[in-house]
Amino acid sequence: MIAEIAQRYNLTAREQETVQFLVEGFTSKEIAQRMKISPNTVKAFIRLVMVKMDVSTRSGIIGKIVGTRHGLEPPAGRGFSRDYSQRISAHGDLFEF
């Protein structure tokens, strides 16, 4: 799944690795230890991913990934459509707008 997200949002290999650890629930400090980089570098990767994915939080990154897994993510470069809203409702109102 990360590979699909990486391709959609043009993530680098290190950004992908960071996102994978983030999805697994690791803190920036834990990610840094595993990647053998500083926590500040991890935070920089996370900020770059947030910009590429057009979200403003770490949770937003995870939300995009979960949405993609459940078929709730709209096609890249498009706004919300009526069909998209209906699919969200069909999946138990996972998100509120």
Any domain includes 95: no
Looking at the structure of the chain, the number of domains it has is 1
CATH number at residue 83: 1.10.10.10
- Chunked into runs of 10 residues, the chain (97 residues) has average pLDDT values of 89 97 96 98 98 96 80 48 40 40
pLDDT for 1: 72
Residue 43 tokens, joined = 């935070």
- Could you list the residue range(s) of the whole structural domain that residue 56 is in? 2-90
Residues 12 and 97: their CA atoms lie apart, in Å, by: 31
d(CA 1, CA 13): 14
8 Å CB contact between 45 and 18: yes
Flag whether 97 is in a domain. Answer: no
